[in-house]
Amino acid sequence: MPDTPAAPDAPAAESAEPSAAAAEPAAGLAGTARRTSWWVPVLAVGVAVLGATGTYLGAGYVAHAVRTDHIAAVDELEQRADDARGDLKAAITRAGSAGDQGAAVTAVVVDGLGADELAVELEAAATTAAELAATAVEPLPDPIAYDRGGTRPAWVSVIEVLETRERGRALLDELEAMTIAAGDIDAAATAAEEARVAFYASAADSAAAVLDANQVATYESRIAVQHGIDQAGDDWFESPNSVGAYVKLSKAVDAVRASAGAEAARRAEVDYAARGPIEDFARSIAHGVNLDFRWANVVADKSSDDGWYAGTALYRYGDGGWATIELSHSIGWHFGDDVNAKAVVVHEVGHAQVVRPECEPLFTGPVFGGDDEMWATAWAIAAGYDVEGSGIQAYGRPSDAQIAEAGKCR
C-alpha cells in the first residue's frame, strides 16, 4: 500500500461524546485547512468507532482506507469544479464580446437602415450581456495540507476525512453556483448575438429596398450594397453582422442614393437626348453584361474637338460580369450619321463580352491568347461592323480565323 498508517498513539475515550460546539472546525475553508483543538473529541469518537475492528492497527488501516476514498472523491469533484470555473470564464468572455459588439452597432445606427424596434432590443440585450460579463470569478477553496508522512496515526486520518468532507461540500456549492452563473451568462451572450444578427438582417432588408428604389444608380455603386447585404464579395472583409459591416453597408447605401441622384441629373441634361439611346443600344447587344457609362470630351488622349471617336472599356469578371465604358462626346454628336462612331461603341461592348462564361474560353484560347484589342475588333467585325471604327484603323485587321472565333460569342 502507498503508506502505512500507525496505530493510534492515544487511547480511546470510553464514554466521551463531542459537544455541538466541539464538532465544528474552528478554521474556515477560505484558506488552507488547519487542525485545532477540536480534533480531541473527534479523535475520541473516531478511534472508538474504528476500534470496533478490535485492534489499533486495524483501526489505522480502516481510517487510512476511508481517508483515501474521500480524497479521491474530492479530487474528482475539484476537477469538475475547475472545469466549471473555466466554463464560467469562457461565458464571461463571450458575454463581454457580445455586449461590446452590440453596443458598437447601436452607437452607429442610422435612420432608415434597420428596424427601430430591433435596434432597441439589441441595445437592451447588449447592456445585459455587458453587465453579466462583470461577474467575478472566485478562486476555489484552498487545498488541505494533508499529512504526507510514511506513517500516520489513525486520529490524523480521521481528522483529514472530516476536513475533506467539509471541503467537498464547499466545492459542491461552488460547482453548483458556477454552473448556474455560466448558464445565465452564456444565455445573455446568445441573446445579444442573436439580437445583433436580427438587426443586421433588418438593415439588409432596408438596403435591398434602397436598391429597388434606385434602379438608375450605377451598377458599380449597387454592387457595394449587394456585398453588404450578402456580407460577401471580393472587397468584403468585415466580420459578420459587425459594426464594421454595418458602417460599410451604410456608406454603400448612401453612395447608391448619391449615384441615383447624379444619374437622374445627368439624364435631365440636354446631351442625354443623344447619349441615352447610344447607351440603350450598347446594352441591347451586350447579352446581359451589366454596363456603366461615362462621357468625356477627351478619351484615351483623343479629343472630340479634333474629330476623333474614342472609347475605353474596363471589364470585371465578378459580380455577374460587368464593365464601365467611357465614350467621347464626338460619338454622341455623330452616332446617327457615321457608322464608324457606332462601330467604336460595338468595339467597346466587345471588350465586355469576355466576362461571359461561354466567351471567356474563346478569348483566352489559342486563337486570341487574351489579346484584348484583336478580340474586340474581331467581335465588332463579326457583328457586322467591318469598318475602320471597329478597331481596324487603330489595331489592324484581325485574321479570318479570329473573326470566325469571335463570331461564336453571340
pLDDT range class, residue 10, cuts 50, 70, 90: very low
- Residue range 213-218: mean pLDDT, rounded: 97
Does the predicted TM-score (pTM) go above 0.85? no
Is the predicted pLDDT of residue 41 greater than 90, yes or no?
no
Is the predicted pLDDT of residue 225 greater than 80, yes or no?
yes
Q: If we measure between CA atoms, which residue out of 238, 227, 237, 240 comes closest to residue 193?
A: 240
186 contacts 228 by C-beta, under 8 angstroms: no
Is the predicted pLDDT of residue 25 greater than 90, yes or no?
no
Tell me: the pLDDT tens digits for 132-165?
999 999 888 888 887 777 677 888 878 878 888 8
Top-confidence residue, 157 or 332: 332
Tell me: the pLDDT tens digits for 104-120?
999 999 999 999 999 99
Is the predicted pLDDT of residue 15 greater than 70, yes or no?
no
Beta-strand relationship, 322-328 and 302-303 = unpaired
Q: Average model confidence (pLDDT) for the chain?
A: 86
Q: Give the model's pLDDT for residue 60.
A: 67
Q: What percent of the chain has pLDDT over 70?
A: 85
Q: Give the model's pLDDT for residue 81.
A: 86
pLDDT range class, residue 30, cuts 50, 70, 90: very low
Q: Give the model's pLDDT for residue 32.
A: 34
Q: Give the model's pLDDT for residue 34.
A: 36
Q: Give the model's pLDDT for residue 17.
A: 35
pLDDT range class, residue 18, cuts 50, 70, 90: very low
Top-confidence residue, 367 or 68: 367
Phi, psi values for residue 53, rounded to 5°: -70, -20
Is the predicted pLDDT of residue 125 greater than 50, yes or no?
yes
- Residue range 164-191: mean pLDDT, rounded: 92
Q: Is 334 exposed, middle or buried, given 0-12, 13-18 or 19+ CB atoms closer than 10 A? A: middle
How is 21-83 classified by DSSP, letter by letter? TTTS-SS-SSS-----TTHHHHHHHHHHHHGGGSSHHHHHHHHHHHHHHHHHHHHHHHHHHHH
Rounded CA-CA distance 160/165 in Å is 8
pLDDT range class, residue 40, cuts 50, 70, 90: very low
- Residue range 68-77: mean pLDDT, rounded: 84
Q: Give the model's pLDDT for residue 288.
A: 96
For residue 291, what are the β-bridge partners? 323
